Amino acid sequence: NAGVTQTPKFQVLKTGQSMTLQCAQDMNHNSMYWYRQDPGMGLRLIYYSASEGTTDKGEVPNGYNVSRLNKREFSLRLESAAPSQTSVYFCASSEAVRNSNQPQHFGDGTRLSIL
């Protein structure tokens, strides 16, 4: 079972470059999420998509954009990368919209370094 697949696994960028992190899930989940994980800060929500065609800001959206391409795919874009965006990025999905009992399923992460 693939679950949630993220690409790439590692990336190094220079300040000012742009890139898109890809995420796909094969569990037919409605909701998808992007988090960043920084040392000593746990995971913080960047953006989420409650359902296909909708996206909303999370706790730390500045400097990012997202696209819910279809039910399976949810991409995260950095238009002009900054060193403060060096982090590990996780994509997640969950089954039910607005049902807090449903757990989220996570990908293995993308480790992004910005020089």
Cα(13)–Cα(20) distance, integer angstroms: 11
Q: Could you tell me how many residues of this chain bind another protein (CB under 8 A)?
A: 32
* Single residue of 49, 60, 74, 78 touching another protein by CB under 8 A: 49
63 binds another protein (CB under 8 A): no
CA distances from 96 to 49, 67, 107, 108 (A): 12, 19, 18, 22
Query: Cα angle at 90 between 22 and 36, to 5 degrees?
Result: 115
Cβ 16 to another protein shortest distance, Å: 29
Q: How far is CA 103 from CA 23, 35, 61, in A?
A: 18, 15, 22
Helix (H, G, I), strand (E, B) or coil at 17: coil
Nearer to another protein, 3 or 16 (CB): 3
Among 15, 20, 26, 41, binds another protein (CB under 8 A): 41
- Does 90 bind another protein (CB under 8 A)? Our answer is yes
Is 53 an interacting residue with respect to another protein (CB under 8 A)? no
Binding residues for another protein (CB under 8 A): 4, 31, 33, 40-45, 48-51, 56, 58, 90, 92, 94, 96-109
